[in-house]
Amino acid sequence: MFQRMIALAFLAAGVVALAVSSGTAQPDKKPKPEDLAKAKKALQNVQDFIGVWNLEGSRKVGAKTEAWKEKVSWGWKFKDGDAWITVNFAEGKGKYFAGGELRYDLAKKKYLLTLTPAGKDQAKQLFEGEYAKGALKVERKDAKTGDVYRITLNTIGEESTRFAMKYEKQDGGKGVFASVYGMVGNRDGTAFAGGGKKKECIVSGGAASIAVTYQGKTYYVCCSGCRDEFNAAPEKYIKGKK
């Protein structure tokens, strides 16, 4: 009887060890609030991207230049203390991309831009890079061909009313980068905007254009994501601003 009990104990220990090694016994660790705050702060470097942009794209096709127009929107998303930025190209029908999201990896100290290519059943593409000198520059390498693709994103002008996106390719991962296409244009509504003091988003701190109301007072946010976040917990953001 004693030997049987010992055998059962060893068997139970083996099952527990197997569960632990397979990751089923220990749930995924949640990011620390301070780490989430640091990632959000890094993303605020590209706060000027937030908003809707009327862009015109162009690319060389032989001796001709092909042109098209796209409305591209960037906005914040919030969930359980986490924050990231989403992008949408022409309501999911962009020429090259449908949409994606931008996050910051604290361990790598890299910005991670995940984009969904246009068309059906297209695998998502992950670009990694850094923000420097007013521009976000991210790259990805094709595992099959070795080609490297680079995307450069930045706003233009002191008021950040213009936006530019440049897409380049380096054949085989060697040599110079060649232009594939580019897009540039104005922030939606800037052609009709007057002067005066810029409104500040009560959630993200960036330039704001969307009005929200709480207890009879009007505040401003920069995107629908910040609007939803404010409406969910207004007291969190108006503290000290009443």
**Are 87 and 153 found together in one domain?**
yes
Same domain, yes or no, for 43 and 115?
yes
- Tens of pLDDT, residue by residue over 61-86, are 988 999 999 999 999 999 999 999 99
Q: Is the pTM of this model over 0.85?
A: no
Using the CB atoms, write b or e for 26-37: b if 16+ within 10 Å. Answer: eeeeeeeeeebe
118 three-class SS: coil
Same domain, 169 and 52: yes
Indicate if the alpha-carbon torsion angle 125, 131, 137, 140 is positive or negative.
negative
Whether 40 and 136 share a structural domain: yes
CA 5, 7, 10, 15 torsion-angle sign = negative
Q: At residue 90, does pLDDT exceed 60?
A: yes
157 and 207 assigned to the same domain: no
My answer on whether 137 and 201 are in the same domain is no
31, 82 Cβ separation under 8 angstroms: yes
Mean pLDDT across 95-110: 97
Specify the 3-state DSSP secondary structure of 205.
Answer: coil
- For residues 42 and 120, membership in a common domain is answered with yes
> Structural domain of residue 58, as residue ranges?
33-187
State the pLDDT at residue 227.
93
**Are residues 110 and 177 both part of a single domain?**
yes
Percent of the chain topping pLDDT 70: 84
Give the per-residue pLDDT at 226.
Answer: 94
Total domains, the chain: 3
53 and 105: one domain?
yes
In a shared domain, residues 138 and 204: no
- Most confident of the ranges 41-45, 185-189, 209-213: 41-45
Residue type, 184: V
- Residues with Cβ < 8 Å from 85, sequence gap 6 or more? 43, 46, 49, 50, 74, 75, 76, 77, 101, 102, 103
Question: Reduced to 3 states, what is the DSSP secondary structure of residue 33?
Answer: helix
- pLDDT tens digits, 127-183: 999 999 999 999 999 999 999 999 999 999 888 899 999 999 999 999 999 999 999
106 in the same domain as 128: yes
Taking only the tens place, the pLDDT of each residue in 124-141 is 999 999 999 999 999 999
Q: Does 101 lie in the same domain as 86? A: yes
**pLDDT exceeds cutoff 90 at 99:** yes
202 exposure class (CB count in 10 Å sphere: 0-12, 13-18, 19+): buried
Query: What's the rounded mean pLDDT across residues 83-107?
Result: 97
Between the CA of residue 237 and those of 120, 213, 221, what are the distances in Å? 40, 12, 11
Span 1-53, pLDDT tens digits: 545 544 444 444 444 444 434 334 444 578 898 999 999 999 999 999 999 99
Q: Where are the beta strands (DSSP E) in 2-134?
A: 51-61, 64-79, 82-89, 97-105, 110-117, 125-132
